[in-house]
Amino acid sequence: MKTLKTQVAIIGAGPSGLLLGQLLHNAGIQTLMLERQSADYVQGRIRAGVLEQGMVDLLREAGVSQRMDAEGLVHDGFELALNGRLTHIDLKELTGGQSVMVYGQTEVTRDLMAARAAVGATTLYEAREVQLHDLKTDQPWLTFEHQGEVFRLECDYIAGCDGFHGVARQSIPAESLQVFERVYPFGWLGMLCDTPPVHPELVYARHPRGFALCSMRSATRSRYYLQVPADEPVSDWSDERFWAELKKRLPAELAETLVTGPSLEKSVAPLRSFVVEPMQYGRLFLLGDAAHIVPPTGAKGLNLAASDVSTLYRILLKVYGEGRVDLLEQYSAICLRRVWKAERFSWWMTSMMHQFPEADSFTQRIAESELDYFIHSRAGRQTIAENYVGLPYEAIE
Ligand code: APR
Ligand code: PHB
């Protein structure tokens, strides 16, 4: 068995792992990254698209913002549709000048992969059978297989950035973890298409036939979503059926101007709320989807990954730079305070915007009335706006 050494071992080369790796590398802290899939597979995944200011700032700090700053779309607001009418949520005005950046996770990943390759930091793609050992000691280690060889990787700390189905969280004894979960009885059918977006801003629509979202990747590429039953086969949805259903759920003024075209990709994603506490076990830290999932209605999944990265990065800077090992124990509590607020917002937006198949007529009217109240009250719009642009990151002191 060959032995390798690094300071921080990172499991998973999604946005969490790649961003953490880049920040640590720039700070002179060595990392080695293990990814189960191939680079092409990681690069090909189509996921979220809205970046909070905090994540934009972190990407700039990591030195990987050049393309985002050139091609990303700054959005100062978005629209909520109820009963066929649009209400503008003016993020900038309601939050004292904040906005979001529309830039696909696929592009963020591509930029981070290129930056990591450019600095020559190691990522072992198609690393199999990753296993974690001695997490409660000060010399944790991993074993894995790569290109037919078995390796031992010794390190100071392990960052579990391996997503919801990863090995990191599963390596923590069940009795040391508390799981909080809600599974929703529906999913989102997403479609990517090279057509101009139907509206210059994102449109989230509540409709008796189910929720719909109009998003985008650029001035010529749109991303649309429809609420569908959780177990819906994608094969039931021809492009024609998708467009027809989307038109039914949008206000008439938008449905009339919607430009349709052939889909580039279609997929169904289940909706789930999930948090594990604590987000650390000995020298293993969980980040991003490995520790929590939010339903996509608040556009928070990727952004929560970024705030976990920021927290661990700033702690490790002080650990390596100033010997502040006392901070390590605070990682989980600091992350969870922000995670739970985003969980609440994501759950709340999901509850207000969707049709719940089991809901009685009273519950449906309450959800509709709640949305109606919030969008027609300045205080209501303000609470939506301040959560949407992202709550502040906690300082690490
Ligand atoms: N060993 C090595 N790598 C693994 C393993 C394993 N056992 N299990 C999973 N991985 C890899 C996956 O192949 C994936 O590339 O870990 C990576 C995790 O990446 P993501 O799932 O993208 O999670 P994260 O980086 O936390 O990003 C969170 O991505 O999933 C979206 O909605 C989510 O936008 C949010 C963001
Ligand atoms: C997306 O563009 O994929 C997207 C945008 C906003 C959301 C969810 C997904 O809330």
In a domain, 251, yes or no: no
In a domain, 201, yes or no: no
The residue from 103, 225, 388, 393 that is catalytic is 388
In a domain, 394, yes or no: no
Encoded tokens for 141: 């280690």
How far is ligand 2, taken at its centre, from the CA of residue 215, in Å? 6
Q: What percent of the chain has pLDDT over 90?
A: 98
pLDDT at residue 44 in the model = 87
Closest ligand, as measured to the CA of 164: 1
How far is ligand 2, taken at its centre, from the CA of residue 138, in Å? 40
Closest ligand, as measured to the CA of 289: 1
* pLDDT of 383 strictly over 90: yes
**pLDDT band (50, 70, 90) for residue 54:** very high
- Cβ burial of 358 (10 Å; 0-12, 13-18, 19+) is exposed
**pLDDT band (50, 70, 90) for residue 46:** confident
Contacts of 238 (CB under 8 A, 6+ apart): none
The residue from 204, 224, 320, 331 that is catalytic is 204
In a domain, 392, yes or no: no
Side by side, the strands of the sheet bearing 203-205 are 85-89, 78-82, 203-205, 212-218, 221-229, 178-193, 263-277, 292-293
* pLDDT of 306 strictly over 90: yes
Task: Express each pLDDT in 118-129 by its tens digit.
Answer: 999 999 999 999
In a domain, 206, yes or no: no
Here the CATH number for the domain that contains residue 167 is 3.50.50.60
Task: Express each pLDDT in 326-372 by its tens digit.
Answer: 999 999 999 999 999 999 999 999 999 999 999 999 999 999 999 99
Residue 386, CA distances (Å) to 97, 240, 285, 345, 346 in order: 11, 37, 28, 10, 13
pLDDT at residue 171 in the model = 98
* pLDDT of 30 strictly over 90: yes
Cα 212 off chain centre by: 19
Instruction: Give yes or no: 313 in active site.
Output: no
- Domain extent for 48: 2-75+99-180+272-355
The residue from 251, 295, 296, 354 that is catalytic is 296
Instruction: Give yes or no: 281 in active site.
Output: no
pLDDT at residue 45 in the model = 84
Task: Express each pLDDT in 150-183 by its tens digit.
Answer: 999 999 999 999 999 999 999 999 999 999 999 9
In a domain, 241, yes or no: no
Give residues (CB < 6 A) around ligand 1.
11-17, 34-37, 42, 47-48, 105, 127, 130, 161-163, 165-167, 288-289, 301-302, 305
Q: Look up the pTM and report it.
A: 0.97
Instruction: Give yes or no: 388 in active site.
Output: yes
pLDDT at residue 47 in the model = 85
How far is ligand 1, taken at its centre, from the CA of residue 296, in Å? 16
pLDDT at residue 385 in the model = 98
Question: What whole-number distance in Å separates Cα of residue 246 and Cα of residue 227?
Answer: 10
Q: How many domains does the chain have?
A: 1
Which residue has the CA at smallest separation from atom 36 of ligand 1?
302
Question: What whole-number distance in Å separates Cα of residue 174 and Cα of residue 318?
Answer: 30
Instruction: Give yes or no: 204 in active site.
Output: yes
The mean pLDDT value for 85-106 works out to 97
Mark residue 354 as left, alpha or beta (left: phi above 0; alpha: psi -120 to 50; beta: remaining): beta
Question: What whole-number distance in Å separates Cα of residue 239 and Cα of residue 221?
Answer: 16
Question: What whole-number distance in Å separates Cα of residue 11 and Cα of residue 5?
Answer: 14
